[in-house]
A and B are shown apart, each in its own frame.
Chain A
């Protein structure tokens, strides 16, 4: 017996009535305008172009940011180039200490960072507070320890740093992606110029303060702001020897083309369209939590999101019933509220992209389900959404939506599940839900994806390598393998 939408919503309302519990923001100091972090201090930019960064939950302007131009990029890269020799030659244990110090300061300033992250990006405070910021600190702590142990990481080889790394990061996990990029680069003795995404530059600006607080030698970390043009100038700069990019597959391909033949080292962490596969013997309640975490975590702005649910036909009905019921209990609203599950969509452009793909799903014939939920009048919002009756050829089953939209497909045999899961040009992650150990390993072996979560989803750890197969990119971030992109092996 299917629970009707009305019933489930009524039930949810009855069980989950919460008073507002907003996180305090009075301790946050966001400056009205920011310069660039070059040569160890905040400097005025050459570029006169500025753009606002807004809170996507309210559309209020938070600050004004520079759109760095060619001169700014060159200054930042030159500064990193100047710092390189002494940083690379610094006693490794000293490099380690700086990184440990940064990690500690992130921990000390964690609440401030969490609030800034949530205000600038729209993600629920419970996620920035409990996931993004602690993981960012842990990442620096982990790689700090590698700085003076590199000779143990690569048997029979002598690792040396590459030079200046140009790093471009996305808006979905701003500080965490910064940590993933900067920590291993610095540990290996490189210096960096990093460009945060144009919609989420603020936590990187706080990080610039943290570098100063840690007394990191000038030029070791440089942070410049801007949009695609600035990023393109950065990765193409001849003095940049290593390029690391996290973002869309489209831009990743563009970067690979743009720097072809330059001899620059390149790692790409790109899009995904992960299958989350539920077998009939899976513990359904746990699987439902895993599915929800897989696609509605961070509003689905996750490259490794479990955006395709593959459910074994025999349990499709009860599973979907539970899932729909669970969806109706998700609380959408003020990202700063500690009880919020679904925050704001990061930008108007992203909201429009999600809306466009959802419309295509309806047009192509899939059945839409959205729980009743109040959408705030200001800001960018999209309710948790799932599609059933989805064919593999539909755009919503093929393209990365990067929003809280789940496409549900069914399968009968494990072989069919493998076939469907791998039927994508992407290969970032996969999820497997079953109680049978041998089947977990059998499935894990066959998933053409860099990260496989069995009976869990969306887990991250600094010691755990992360990265894609196929068009999800190459190179790994995290763990021992995350050092490799930042060293030359002699």
Chain B
């Protein structure tokens, strides 16, 4: 007899039930936690606490941890392929997910070189611009493809040193919740990535209005949802990210980043 898995939210490095005690059955079989506003609040708090530590890691270290996530995912490929429905398409999605992690793992220590500058100001000053993480990023995963759709947004955000609160695909949450197990075994510090499942309609407004979220990724949202989020996000001037990610791009990394410019006089 099979030992079934209880699916849980991933918050602050722990697998937890929704504080609301609620669950829903997206496929009619498995109980999945139906996250609440308070679960999101806990996730944001965990992410904020983890931010300075993660942003303060060396770029190389962040790259190694992202790469380890690729290793973990590839190592459990069979399980994920089955979870994604089996067959060539599922296999391709798994491969793309692994590839995405590997690709962004290699970007952590290059994005600053490609998008940063020393600026030739007209005066005796040393002046440079570097990209820095925006902070706490909320990511709305697309319903399809449930795994690579999430990975393609989470990986560039983490690559840039952000911390993430991700909303799993409502109708297919299992790949995201299982991907949390990959994250949990890849040396990400607790709180760096948090994954919450539940109903998008209920949770999205809370993400959009939360005052301690710095950016919200709505590329997977409908145009009506985008409009609501954009308006609500103005409360704390959240960055609303709409950049599509059909392909990998360093521009998606910088979409989750701020440019900081530092000046210092030159003299004897």
Listed in ascending order, the chain A residues whose CB lies under 8 Å from chain B are 138, 155, 157, 249, 252-254, 256-257, 259-261, 268, 270, 425, 440, 444, 447-456, 459, 461, 463-467, 469-474, 476, 479-481, 489
Contact = CB atoms under 8 A, between A and B. Distances in A.
A390 to B, nearest CB: 24
B125 A456 contact: yes
7 contacts: A252-B234, A270-B237, A447-B260, A450-B261, A463-B127, A465-B259, A471-B237
Contact of B236 (A453, A465, A470): A470
Interface stretch (B92-100, B139-147, B152-160, B223-231): B223-231
A261 B120 contact: no
Interface string B226-252: 111111011111010000000000110
Given A261-B223, A268-B237, A454 B263 contact: yes
A144 to B, nearest CB: 15
Contacts of B265: 455-456
B199 interface: no
Nearest to A474: B239
A467 B259 contact: yes
B127 A249 contact: no
A459 B123 contact: yes
Given A252-B234, A260-B226, A260-B228, 20 more contacts: A138-B122, A249-B237, A252-B237, A256-B230, A260-B230, A260-B234, A261-B224, A270-B237, A447-B260, A451-B262, A453-B263, A455-B264, A456-B265, A461-B119, A461-B121, A461-B127, A474-B239, A476-B259, A479-B129, A489-B251
B231 A456 contact: no
Interface residues of B, number: 37
Interface hub of A138, A440, A449, A470 (most chain B Cβ within 10 A)? A470
Contacts of B236: 425, 470-471
B127 to A, nearest CB: 5
B125 A463 contact: no
Nearest to B115: A481
B126 to A, nearest CB: 9
Interface of B: 114, 117, 119-123, 125, 127, 129, 134-135, 214, 223-224, 226-231, 233-237, 239, 250-251, 258-265
B231 A257 contact: yes
A481 B223 contact: no
Contacts of A476: 259
Contacts of A425: 236
Contacts of A466: 261
Contacts of B227: 260-261
Given A461-B123, A464-B119, A452 B258 contact: no
Nearest to A476: B259
Contact of A480 (B117, B127, B258): B117
A248 to B, nearest CB: 12
Given A256-B230, A261-B227, A452 B261 contact: yes
A465 B261 contact: yes
Given A260-B231, A470-B214, A464 B237 contact: no
B114 A464 contact: no
A463 B121 contact: yes
A256 B129 contact: no
Q: Find the residue from B117, B120, B235, B262 having the highest chain A CB count within 10 A.
A: B262
A259 B234 CA distance: 11
